[in-house]
A and B are shown apart, each in its own frame.
Chain A
Amino acid sequence: MTNHDKDLLGNPLSKDDKELLELYARLKALAVRTDLPPVVTANAKQAMVMLWNACNDLALIAEEPGCD
C-alpha cells in the first residue's frame, strides 16, 4: 500500500500520509509473521488495526487488513 502516491480522492499524498501508510505496511507485515513470540504478534496486530483506522479514515486505503 505504500507504492501509490495519491489518496482515494486523487489528492497527492502528504509527508504525514506517506509516513502513516509506511507504518501501517510495516505493522501489517509484522502482524502476519508466525515466527515471533505472542507478545510481539498480538501487540503488532493491535497497533496495526489502530493505524488501519487512521489510514482508512483519511481515505488513504479501503482494504481489509486480513488478520484477526
Chain B
Amino acid sequence: MPATSTSYWNPKTETLPKAQLRALQLTKLQRLVERAWQTSPFHRRLYDQAKVTPEQIKTLDDIRRLPFMTREDWMANQADKPLFGDLITRPPQDAIRYHLTSGTSGRQPLRVLDSRKDWSWIADMWCYGFWGFGIRPSDTVFFAFSYGSFIGFWGAHYCCEKMGCLTLASGNMTTEQRVKQIVEMGATVVCATPTYALRMGQTAEKMGIDLKRDGKVRRVIVSGEPAGSIPAVKRMIEEMWGGKCGDTAGMTEIGTIMIFECDHQPGGPHIIEDHFIEEVLDPDTGEPVGYGERGERVVTSFGRGFIPLIRYRTKDLVCKVPHTRCTCGRTGDIYEGGILGRVDDMKLIRGTNVYPRAVEAVVREHHEVEEFQIVITRVDNVQDEITVKIELKPDQQECWPRLQAKLGKDLADAHEGLRFNLDLCKQGELPRFELKAKRLQDLRPQY
C-alpha cells in the first residue's frame, strides 16, 4: 500500500482497540512518573508531599494518586529558581529550543525548553493532525505566523517539512503580502488563527482578490483560539477561502497539539491518546465527569523529555464524547465542540454566566459583522453592563437597525434574557489581531 493512501499518520496506534490503548497509556505513564521522580526535583517534591511513589502506579486509575500540577506552581518555581526552575530534567545547555507562552492571560509568560528529540516529537504530533485532516506531501502549505518566541505554529512548520510539503513561512509579511503570496504560489493549505484567517479573507476582498476564484486553497487549518470550533466561524472561513476548515488545539506547556479534527469532522477534534492522557474533571471538586459533561481538561503528556507534564490543570473547558461518534476509525475520544472556553474566563453579569466564546458563537451567526469587541463596565459602582461593539462590513451599513434588534434578541436568548448593549463602530475602529485575539475588555474595578 503506498504510504500516501492511508488516512492515518500512524495506523497502528491511532486505531488501537480501547483496552490496548489504555494498556499502552499505563506503560507510558509508569515510565514517565519514574523518570520525573528520578530527574525532576519539582516533581519529586510534589510526590513526597502527596506521599506517592512511582511503584504505586499500578493501574490507570492510580493516576488520581498523583498530585495536580498547576501553572501557578510552575510560574512560582521559575521565579524562585530563575530562569527555568527545577522542573526541567536536564541542564538548559542540552536544549535546542526556547519558547514562551503567548502572554494573552496577562501573566508572566512561562519559559520552556526542548531537546532535539522533544522538538522532533512536537512536529510529529502536528503530523498526526495534518495527515488526519488530509494534508499530503504534494501540498503547498502557507503559515500566516510571525515565527517569534511564541511557539504557535512552529511545530506545524517542521511537521510540514517532515511530511515533504512545500512549506511557506511568512514571518515578516504584511497581511496584503501574505494574501498575494498565497495566490501567487498556489498555496493549497493555509494555517492561521481563526481570527487571522478571517482577517486575511477580508483583506483579500478589499484588494479585489476572490480567494475562491483566484486561489487554490483546499484546507484552512486553524489553531490558538476556541473560535476554531464555532460552526459559524468555520462557515465564514470556508466561504471566504473555498476550502474546508479544520480545528486543532495545543498549548505551549506541552509544546504541540493534543487534539485535531480528522477529515470526517464529527463535530470536534480527536485526542491523540497514544501520546496524552486527557482527564476531564469537575474544576471545583477535582472529580472526573462522565462523557457528555463539561469539565476542565487535565493533561499528562508522554512526549516532552525536558519538561515532564503530569496531571497539568489547563483551565480549558471541554466536553468529551466517545470516539464512536466518528466513523474515521480512530479510537481517540473526541472533544465535542473543541475547546469550549476557559474555566476562568467566565464573567458574571447581573447573575448570569457569560463566556466570550458563547458571545462569539452568536455574533458570528450574523454575516454582516466584520469585527466585534465585548466591553464590561460597572455603572455607579453598582450595576454591571455588557456591551458588544460591532463593526459592520463596508457594504452592510444599512442593515444596522435590523441587525441591532436581532443580535440583541439572540444574545439575550442565549443568556437567560440578559440585556446586551450594542454599539455600532466606524470602519477600522476596533483592533485587529494576528495571533490570539483579545476581544474582551473587563473595565470593572478589580479588588
Expressed in whole angstroms, the minimum distance between the Cβ of B441 and any Cβ of chain A is 43
Q: Tell me if A68 and B95 are in contact (CB < 8 A).
A: yes
Interface of A is mostly: loop
Interface mask (B19-48 → A, CB under 8 Å = 1, otherwise 0): 010011001100100010000000000000
Q: Determine which of B12, B20, B35, B120 lies in contact with A53 in the assembled complex, contact meaning CB atoms within 8 Å.
A: B120
List residues of chain B with CB within 8 A of the CB of A64. 35, 117, 305
Q: Tell me if B23 and A9 are in contact (CB < 8 A).
A: yes
List residues of chain A with CB within 8 A of the CB of B16. 9
B-side residues, CB < 8 A to A, are 10, 12-13, 16, 20, 23-24, 27-28, 31, 35, 94-96, 115-117, 119-121, 124, 274, 302-303, 305
Question: Would you give 10 A-B contacts (Cβ < 8 Å), ordered by A?
Answer: A8-B27, A8-B28, A9-B24, A45-B116, A49-B116, A50-B120, A56-B303, A57-B274, A62-B28, A67-B116
Q: Determine which of B96, B274, B303 lies in contact with A59 in the assembled complex, contact meaning CB atoms within 8 Å.
A: B274
Q: Does A63 contact B (CB under 8 A)?
A: yes
Q: Determine which of A52, A57, A59, A62 lies in contact with B117 in the assembled complex, contact meaning CB atoms within 8 Å.
A: A52
List residues of chain A with CB within 8 A of the CB of B94. 68
Interface mask (A10-48 → B, CB under 8 Å = 1, otherwise 0): 000000000000000000000000000000000001100
Expressed in whole angstroms, the minimum distance between the Cβ of B325 and any Cβ of chain A is 24
List residues of chain A with CB within 8 A of the CB of B274. 57, 59
Q: Tell me if A57 and B27 are in contact (CB < 8 A).
A: no
Q: Does A58 contact B (CB under 8 A)?
A: yes
A47 to B273, CA, bound (A): 26
Looking across the interface, which residue of chain A has its beta carbon closest to that of B12? Answer: A58
Looking across the interface, which residue of chain B has its beta carbon closest to that of A65? Answer: B117
A53 to B128, CA, bound (A): 12
Q: Tell me if B120 and A49 are in contact (CB < 8 A).
A: yes
List residues of chain B with CB within 8 A of the CB of A67. 116-117
A56 to B94, CA, bound (A): 21
Known: A57-B10, A68-B96. A63 touches B115 (CB 8 A): no
Expressed in whole angstroms, the minimum distance between the Cβ of A46 and any Cβ of chain B is 7
Q: Tell me if B117 and A63 are in contact (CB < 8 A).
A: no
Known: A53-B120, A64-B117. 7 other contacts (CB 8 A): A9-B24, A57-B13, A59-B13, A59-B274, A62-B27, A68-B94, A68-B95
